[in-house]
Amino acid sequence: MIHVLGTFASYGMSGSLWYGLIVAIFSLDSIYHICQPEVRPGQGFMRMICTFSMQILPIIAHGHEFWLEIVQLVGIYSAAGWFFSKYPLGGWSHGVFHLVAALSNPIMLDFSTKVLRSEEAIHLAAKCALMAR
């Protein structure tokens, strides 16, 4: 699920079809590796770090005015990664990892509305909302 979300978030925040396709290919390969009979936890953790990094890179590319979003996402993903790698709560740690990682969604959605390429879609959605009333 993290890899699927990472693909859509990376595309939405970058506004670039090419970047979205690159992340999608990486995510499909990661999902393929997850489904293999031999589980390699270290490799899975590194792929998760790459997926989270690919979500942060578009924000970095948009400039220094979004440093707060970058710090927030790095903090959230670091905490989630800690739960994933250390398993401090036993079997509950994996679920907590997903809950902590989900805290990034409002930040990513807010940033994606600031991408210039999404402006037309936002205006269309606003018109549809007004017409629905």
What pTM did the predictor assign? 0.81
Which residue, among 61, 3, 10, has the nearest Cα to 32 in the 3D structure?
3
- Rounded Cα distance between 16 and 117, Å, is 8
What are 41-93's pLDDT values in tens digits?
788 889 999 999 999 999 998 887 889 999 999 999 999 999 999 999 999 99
Q: Which 3 state secondary structure label does DSSP give 35?
A: coil
- Rounded Cα distance between 56 and 101, Å, is 13
What are 32-50's pLDDT values in tens digits?
988 888 878 788 889 999 9
Determine phi and psi for 117, rounding to 5 degrees: -65, -20
